[in-house]
Each structure stands twice: as C-alpha cells, then as structure tokens.
Amino acid sequence: MSAPFRAIIRHWRGDLPLVVAFWVNGVLLGLVVLLAWRLAREPVERAMAAASPAALRTALAGAMLAGILLLTWQLVGIWRAASAQIARGRISGWERSAQLTVLIGVFAAIDRCVDAVFAVAPLFSP
C-alpha cells in the first residue's frame, strides 16, 4: 500500500493526531481545494458553457460527489481523531471543540448541498 493511501486510511480511522487531522487534512486541505477551485473556475465555466447538456450533467454530478466524499472523509477523520484522544484520557477542551466544529461543518454542508441541488436541478429535468 502506498504512503498517500495509508495516510488517507489513517485519517479516516482517526489514527492521526488531532492536530494533524484538523489543521492539515481539514483546514489546510480545504484551503488548497478552495484555491484550486477559484483558479480553475473561469476556465471550467467556459468549457461547461460549450459542453453538451449530458456532459454538463455528468460533470456537475461528478464534482458534487467528489466534494461530498472529500468533506465526509475530512469530517469523519477529525471526529474520530478527537474521539480517540478522548478515549485515551486526553481531554483538554480542544477535542470537544473539534467535534463541535465538525457538527457545524455537517450542518453547513447540508445547507450548501441543498442550495446546490436546487441551483442545478433545472439542468437535470427532461
């Protein structure tokens, strides 16, 4: 198994230190993805405007699925890392704060997903 794949699995299982799970895989990776999207947004929108409706639907569905999978991986890994530290008796308040942040992230993600579904729903109607 390759090192990046092991790191992905370790995060998912909550085996990483909470500081790494939260700040590196949560915050830093989130900022990198956001920056990449900001840089790619205009060229992607131009390409999508010229794409067929079927290609557009496929690209949108794929992008939404990728975002949901990434966010799920981030939030589950952070939650599990915090829970693992709590189980080891390392309760400093930071663990519960990280879990509260995950809960807020879940509700924010649900809100964004609902908005996105309503925004793209007309593209999927016959």
The pTM (predicted TM-score) of the whole model is 0.90
Q: What digits encode the pLDDT tens for the residues 39-90? A: 988 888 888 888 888 888 888 889 889 999 999 999 999 999 999 999 999 8
Cα of 39 vs its chain's centroid, Å: 18
Cα of 45 vs its chain's centroid, Å: 21
pLDDT of 34 above 90: yes
Cα of 122 vs its chain's centroid, Å: 25
Cα of 21 vs its chain's centroid, Å: 13
Mean pLDDT of 31-35: 95
Give whole-number Cα distances, 69 to 15, 23, 85, 123, in Å.
Answer: 19, 18, 24, 22
In angstroms, rounded to a whole number, what is the distance separating the alpha carbons of residues 29 and 77? 13
Ramachandran assignment for 125, one of left (phi > 0), alpha (psi -120 to 50 degrees), beta (any other): beta
